[in-house]
A = this chain, B = another copy of it.
């Protein structure tokens, strides 16, 4: 639903003017509603919402309201050419992660690949959301001003939306109820034919939540795994050597010489030619990465400056990694961000706000940071990531 609000003053409480306005809007294919109205018979102030599924019909309806004092001139979005590769015209429109529509040559187009902090470029006649550095010299860049409409998702809402404790980023909520809700969303996402994407941090492995995550992958509940070098390295280390960061997964104690385990693991896996051959050759027989390979679940590993190794599968150029994440997120209906600040914020930057997003961490600060950076749709779940993963696995797959 796309909407425009207009404010009008006049003798709105007299006669059937509002009824006539409502009818005129309806005739043009839109719906008018009064959002607020005050005043008296002589002079009333009214705030109107005019809504339609179709931005073209919305234009038509607004034009049809001219006799009622609605001043509206439909305009095309302005564009200007990018002066160089990666350099935008000064007045470029910067996107949010809300669905956006652009009017070009009298027609409205939904923007493709919506995500925040991008430019909108007209490619093949269609307005397309493009990262600044990927805009090519001479491409038509949409400028700020008229000819743009933004349609925020309903984040506050009722049963049909995914609103859920959005003002309760707190550890003080019933985790079983949370797991039930997230499991239901996973089922809905699956039913809708959309992807479930998991963004995973190494604390999953250290804290013992990796078993439940591997179970979910084996059970078919994860479509894409996005992570970094450390997550994969420590998962492989546990599969190969029984430790993560050199700490024994069984005893919880640091193993003598354990600090070299992740390096030895990376060495062995790289020698094998990467994660897929390491699994296929039988070197790696367990864990999350093995679950991905054995179920052909795609994974993308993005490099960071902290990396040891890195594993051959890691994409070391962050620009390439960003593009790979973006492609992997295509079709995502539910994103579970699990105990990683870096990759969660990165993915939040790449997702449209309409995608259900759950951010699990030990403190309120990561969901807060996500929201501060525009990923307003992210629902914070403050708990131990292993707890939620085990609950999800139990609900979706039964007892282990």
Interface residues of A (CB under 8 A from B): 13-16, 18-19, 22-23, 26, 31-41, 44, 46, 83-84, 86-88, 90, 92-94, 96, 116-117, 131-133, 144, 164-165, 167-178, 180-181, 202-203, 206-208, 244-245, 247-253, 257, 259-260, 262-264, 266-268, 270-271, 302-310, 316-319, 321-322, 325, 341-343, 345-346, 349, 362-365, 368-369, 371-374, 382-384, 386-387, 399
Are B13 and A174 in touch, CB under 8 angstroms?
Answer: no
A399: nearest chain-B partner, CB-CB: B399
A197 to chain B, nearest CB (A): 15
Q: Is the beta-carbon distance between B133 and A310 smaller than 8 angstroms?
A: yes
CB distance A33 to B36 under 8 Å? yes
The 6 closest A-B pairs by CB, nearest first: A177-B252, A94-B260, A13-B19, A34-B37, A387-B387, A19-B41
Closest residue to A37 on the B side, CB-wise?
B34
A96 / chain B contacts, CB cutoff of 8 Å? 259
Asked whether, in the complex, the Cβ of A369 is within 8 Å of the Cβ of B170, the reply is yes
State in angstroms the CA–CA spacing of A169 and B171 once bound together. 16
Give which listed residue, B173, B248, B268, B368, contacts A207 with CB less than 8 A: B173
Residues in B with CB closer than 8 Å to A173 are 206-207, 247, 252
Cβ contact within 8 Å between A177 and B264: no
**Can you tell how many copies of this chain the complex includes?**
4
B174 close to A249 (CB less than 8 A): yes
User: Which residues of chain B come closer than 8 Å to A372, judged between CB atoms?
Assistant: 168, 170, 172, 245
Are the CB atoms of A252 and B174 closer together than 8 Å? Answer: yes
CB A78 to nearest CB in B, in angstroms, measures 15
A34 to B38, CA, bound (A): 6
A-B pairs with beta carbons under 8 Å apart, 8 shown: A18-B18, A35-B36, A94-B264, A171-B203, A304-B342, A304-B346, A305-B325, A317-B317
Contacts of A168 in B (CB 8 A): 372
Whether A174 pairs with B316 at a CB distance below 8 angstroms is no
A119 to chain B, nearest CB (A): 8
Complex formed: what's the CA distance from A372 to B165 in Å? 11
Given A23-B40, A34-B36, A40-B22, residue A252 in contact with residue B305 (CB < 8 A): no
* Residues of the B chain whose Cβ atoms lie less than 8 Å from the Cβ of A263: 88, 92, 94, 117, 132
**Residues of chain B within 8 A of A172, CB atoms compared:** 202-203, 206-207, 245, 369, 372
Contacts of A38 in B (CB 8 A): 22, 31-34
Query: Given A88-B267, A252-B174, A317-B316, A39–B22 Cβ distance below 8 Å?
Result: yes
Please tell me which one of the listed residues B46, B93, B268, B307 contacts residue A318 in the complex, with CB atoms under 8 A apart: B307
CB-CB nearest in chain B for A11: B19
In the bound complex, how far is the Cα of B23 from the Cα of A38, in angstroms?
11
